[in-house]
Amino acid sequence: MNKIIFGALTASAVFLSAPAQAQRAPAAVIVSVNTDRIARECTACRAATTQIQNQQNTLRTRAQTLGQQLQTEGKPIQDAITALAGKNPDAALQARVTAFQTKQQNAERELQTGERNIQSTQAHVNQQIGVRLRTIISSIATARGANLAFDTASTLYAAPAIDVTDVVLAQLNQQLPAVSVTPLPQQPQPANPQGR
């Protein structure tokens, strides 16, 4: 009986090891990088963050200014409409209402454009840093014989010995001391062929 069981175990071990050998991958050699720390500490990141925050503050101040101007200009118009007690406004009041609505729309467009520019600027900064960061991490991983790099920002535990954040940060600061803090370059729109 023992020979049958032993034979069955040996046979199953042979069948189990055959697929395992066929799927054998190289052992993982891992490095870790804390990208949250890099985003907080890299020279270009800090400078870009300061400039973007200044742009946001400027836009916020502009929004407050426009809001106050519109409120100041709109109150007398609203008071005049209220005084009519449901009667139709004359041509002069209608013209004031139309002009005011145009100013409101222009203010909204200005603020929306400003917000889009800030978002595009942030995306451009992230793109520049991301491209350089991936190149640096790949280079460091290769130099250390690693075949996997992961972000410790989303990891529960990583041994300090595999952390290369300091090296990545030093190289990033050296290779990319500053970035362009401007909106993403606009891609040329393809020409639409005229009707055929």
Predicted confidence (pLDDT) per residue in 37-48, tens digit? 999 999 999 999
What is the C-alpha separation between 108 and 115, in angstroms, rounded?
A: 11
Of 32, 53, 66, which is closest to residue 163 (Cα–Cα)? 32
Give the sign of the dihedral formed by CA 46, CA 50, CA 55, CA 61: positive
**What was the pLDDT predicted at 158?**
87
**What was the pLDDT predicted at 95?**
95
pLDDT tens profile 172-189: 999 999 999 999 988 766
pLDDT tens profile 105-144: 999 999 999 999 999 999 999 999 999 999 999 999 999 9
Phi, psi of 185 (to 5 degrees): -60, 140
What is the C-alpha separation between 98 and 53, in angstroms, rounded?
A: 35
Residue 16 has pLDDT above 80, yes or no: no
Place of tokens 């729109």: 189
On whether the CB atoms of residues 141 and 31 are closer than 8 A, the answer is yes
Considering the entire predicted model, what is its pTM?
0.76
Q: In what helix (H) or strand (E) does residue 94 lie, and over which residues does it extend?
A: helix 91-143
What is the C-alpha separation between 101 and 145, in angstroms, rounded?
A: 64
**% of the chain beyond a pLDDT of 90:** 72
Of 79, 83, 60, which is closest to residue 71 (Cα–Cα)? 79
**% of the chain beyond a pLDDT of 70:** 83
Q: Provide the residue ranges of all domains of the chain, joining segments of one domain with +.
A: 27-175
Amino acid at 40: R
